[in-house]
Structures are given as C-alpha cells and as structure tokens.
A and B are shown apart, each in its own frame.
Chain A
C-alpha cells in the first residue's frame, strides 16, 4: 500500500507527534477511566457515548482508524472485498454544488432510533441504554434484515469460517456484526475507541469520542466548538455519530 511507504517516510514526525499526543492525552483518559464504572456495574443511561467527526481534519490517504479497528476487533479478511467485514471505512465524497472533495470515515452511526434494532426478529440487534448499538452474537440468526434496514451500510455479515478471532471481540460465521464503539474497552474503563486513538496518534484528531453527559469529554468539547450535523437527518434516527464541516 502506498500509505505504508508514506507513513514510514513520515515515520519520525508521526511517532514524535503521537508520543506527544499520548503524553498529552493519557491524563485525560485516566481521569475518565476512573470516572467510568467498574465492569460489574450495570450500564446506565447517565452515560451517553457519542462521537463527533471533523471532516476537514480527516486526511486523504490515511487509514489509521480503519487499520486500528481491524486490529482491535480481529477483522482479518480473506481478500474478498465483497464479503469481508468492514466496521469502519473511508469514503471520498464530492460536494455536488462546489465540487469540493473530502474524505470521511463511515461507521455505525449508533442511532438513538436504530432501524436495525427495530427490524431484528430476535432482538439480537440491540441498543444499550448508554447508546451503544451492537449485535448479540449468541442470538443473531443471520437473517440480514438489519443490513437491509441500515441506511449507512454499516453492517457486515460474516461470510466464512473464522479461526483467529480475538477474545475481546466475539465474531462468528453466519452472524451480522458492526462497530460497537469498542464496547470491550469501554466496559473495561478505557473510554476511547481504537479509531479515535489511532487518529490522535496520527495527529489528525478528526475523531472525538466520549460521554455526552460529561461536559469536559472530548466529544462534548467538539460539539461545543463546531457545528455538527447528522447524516440523513430526514430519517430522524438521531445518530450519536455526528459530523462537522460537512
């Protein structure tokens, strides 16, 4: 991939920036980590996970978020792009009026009114009270109705036998899966997603994740400083993932 060579060329700078940013961000993560509840506590609606994406900061050719997601969730593929899973992907889009070209990450938008959950016959697709939409891998029957319902093509069906899943992200052939805001990290008190972390490390800071009910969280700050919009607002899905500069 061309990106890799570019990365290694810029390796030194990038590493320095990410080192700096880690130093800069770690205190923040730790404070929120202490604020996050222990594993044995029930999820409650006092926490509202959300993500804001600044499209202008998202860099062309960068796939750090995608790569981090693949690694975090063990989303290795079979070199069959039509059937391999993608939880987050990059799109290149062009403004119809101005012809301006931008790149955006697309992932499950964690709708507050999620059509995927509405249609799921078994309730395997569900929304936690803290706003995370995910699939229960034990009750999904693989009907793919949720994939028909999602307006953002955020979901993937596992089309073949998997052998190297990571223990933190259960996946299985015949079930549907999608971004779950790195639920395993969150439930272990790490309130940052793999994609956000990677984007920060790259120094782009296009992705801000966090708890909406905490005014100091990165996402709350991002929402405060920039006008954010939901995609396909006409569908009134009230997504928790919002975009600015779009």
Chain B
C-alpha cells in the first residue's frame, strides 16, 4: 500500500492573514446583524407572522445539507473502501464539521431568544423532531471529531473504517431528520409528505460533492498537489449521477403531490401560477440547478475541469433557489383552514399569497455563517495535517464513483 503523507496548508503567511481577516470581518458583520435583529426584534427583518422562516433558514438548512453531503467523499473511502479517495477523506470530514457548525450558528442566532440556547440544550421535548435534530447535530459533530482523529493519528488509524461507517450512517439519519423537519408539517401542503426526506438526502449528495470540488480547487490554487485526473473524473461521474438522482426525486416528489388531492392546489401554485415562486422553481431549481449542469457535463467531450466548474457554480445557484422554493414558497401559499369555504377578507393575510423580501440583516447573518464555515476550514487545514501532498492511486481502475 502506498503511503499517504498529510501536510498542513502551505500558504504564505501574508495571504493566510489576509484571508483570515477578510473572513473574520464578514463573520463580525454577520454577528452584528444578528445582534441588531435580537435587540430590535425581528420586525427589522423581512420575516413576519406569515413568513416565519426566511433567509437565515435558507442558509442554515443549505449549510447543514451540504455538511452531510461533503462527508460523501470520506464515506466512499471508508465505507466502500476506495483507495483513490482515501487521501481526500480527512478534508471531507473537516468540511462536514465546518458546514454543520456554521449552519447551526445561523439557526441559533436567528432564534427569537438566542440567549436561551441553554434551555434548548437542557429541556427536551422528545416528541419534537427538532429536539431530535439537536441531538443528531451535536452527535454528528462529536463523531466527526473522532473520525478525523482516527484518520489523522496513525496510532488509531485502524479504527478509521468503523468510525467512517458510523459517521456515514449517522449522516444519513441526520439528513433524513433535516428533511423531516418539514415533512412533519402536516398542515402545510408543501411539506406533509414522506418523499421530502429522501429528496433531502439526494440533494445533500449533489451539493456536498460540488462544494467539495470547489473547496479543493480553491486550495489547489495555492498548493498544486491535491487533485489527480482520476479523482476529477470520478467527481464528475458522481456529479452526473447525483444530478440524475435529483431530477428523479424531484419529479417523484411533485408527481406524488399531484396524486394527493389535498396538495393539488399547491402543486398548481408551484408549477403554474405562483409568480415569483414558479419562476424560482422552473428557472432556478430545475433549469439552472439541474438541466443546465447536466447539459454542460454531457456536451463537454473532453471532460475538462472548466466544465465541471461551470456546472458546480450553476448547481450551487440552483441549490439556493431550491431551498428558497422549499422553505419560502411552502409558507407563502395560504393555509387552507376551511374545506368548503374560501377566505375573502382577513386582517392576518389569510387569503393572500405572501411575499418575502429579506433585509440586509438576514443577508448579513447568512453570509456571516458561510464565512464562518470557511474560516473553520482555513484554520483547520493551516494547523493540522489535512492535506495529502501526493495522491497516488494504485487501484484507480476499480475505483469508480457509481457505487455510492
């Protein structure tokens, strides 16, 4: 077996500090935004009693979904024992940790009472899927830490496979849990369906893979030792596979909703006459997020890195809009409180399709969260040996990405 040598991020200290302070600044802004929201109250945001979850939740859910998805690379190496991916596994676990922490940070800072975090950590309602998610998330962070340790420390290296398998199982449960946060909302036509959980898993695989690619490319910009051609081709295959799977589950989700007569009106809303939401769905989630990337990857016969990069960027734009459709459109559609009556007037906007225009505060908080995840990665790779210096792939032929 080839020896893999892991090293710290080799970067000029000036560049490091520039990045550090740049990201730190964005984090500070994010924190100040959340502080402002907390002291003034949420009326300064675009959220209200109609759209109760807004931009912070789009960011947070997306980051958490990505967190479980980036672990994919480590899973392929540990669970499916693919040597090709082994050198990349520790970084993948670090990314998972970073995205998870920042997603949670956003969620907490958006609470009405973030100062009561301790209440959330000590009083549990075990009937609540939300409470279970708090467990799942903190457990995931702990497991990741152990997993990273088994990968980086040669003395405990033999435990890395079981740790990896455990982390893999946990992350599937975790994404199911995240999806179920919405799936449990029986009263909202957008959500009360079981397909939402698998849809979230498949989304996490896609988004995680491309985010992984993006981060590795960014690191590669400074330190050209990380990426072999085979890995690139494998990531490409994975991306294609997950794009197809996503498309399939998205169709499945909407077709099932069409069959649930209660949800028919909502489907019409999303697919046909929901205005900005319909546009976000078709143009954003479907075309930008799925069709265009598929087209680009298929058309490029040279299988070049640049086409994968364009696809990646499109997928990420699409991922954001997909979350927008799931989280905002689901609330924008008015609740159906009466079966035989139509609501004509209400002082509480029961009869209108809600609009949501986020303010700078929510945006600041969201971007601060993204910066937080990047700074964790930066500090991690600069101080611990996460990055493989040379990637040898002795059994590259066997290592195909289609088995995950």
Contacts and interface: CB of A to CB of B under 8 A. Distances in A.
A binds B: yes
Interface of A: 78, 80-86, 89-97, 101-102, 106, 115, 117-123, 139-145, 147-153, 155-161, 173-176, 231-232, 234-235, 246
Interface in B166-199: 181, 184-188
B128 A121 contact: yes
21 contacts: A81-B347, A82-B50, A83-B49, A89-B347, A91-B350, A93-B338, A118-B127, A141-B116, A141-B119, A142-B112, A142-B116, A143-B111, A148-B53, A148-B188, A149-B187, A151-B186, A153-B335, A156-B49, A159-B49, A160-B43, A232-B339
Given A151-B335, A234-B262, A97 B187 contact: no
A231 B337 contact: yes
Contact of A91 (B53, B129, B343): B343
A159 B130 contact: no
B119 A157 contact: no
B345 A157 contact: no
A145 B130 contact: yes
B331 to A, nearest CB: 7
A115 B342 CA distance: 23
Interface residues on B, range: 35 or more
Given A123-B123, A140-B113, 10 more contacts: A89-B347, A117-B125, A121-B130, A122-B123, A123-B125, A142-B111, A145-B128, A147-B49, A148-B188, A156-B49
B272 interface: no
B41 A91 contact: no
Given A83-B48, A141-B116, A235-B187, A92 B338 contact: no
Contacts of B38: 174
B342 A96 contact: yes
B112 A140 contact: yes
Contacts of B342: 93-94, 96
A167 B111 CA distance: 25
Interface in B185-218: 185-188
A78 B50 CA distance: 17
Interface string B29-63: 00000000010111100001110110000000000
Contacts of B186: 115, 149, 151, 235
A144 B120 contact: no
Contacts of A119: 128-130, 184-185
B40 to A, nearest CB: 7
Given A141-B111, A235-B187, A80 B43 contact: yes
A122 B343 contact: no
Given A93-B341, A159-B48, A86 B53 contact: no
B105 to A, nearest CB: 14
A26 B198 CA distance: 59
A89 B346 contact: yes
Contacts of A144: 52-53, 112
Nearest to B346: A91
A91 to B, nearest CB: 5
9 tightest A-B CB contacts, nearest first: A142-B112, A174-B112, A151-B187, A160-B41, A123-B125, A92-B345, A159-B43, A121-B130, A82-B48
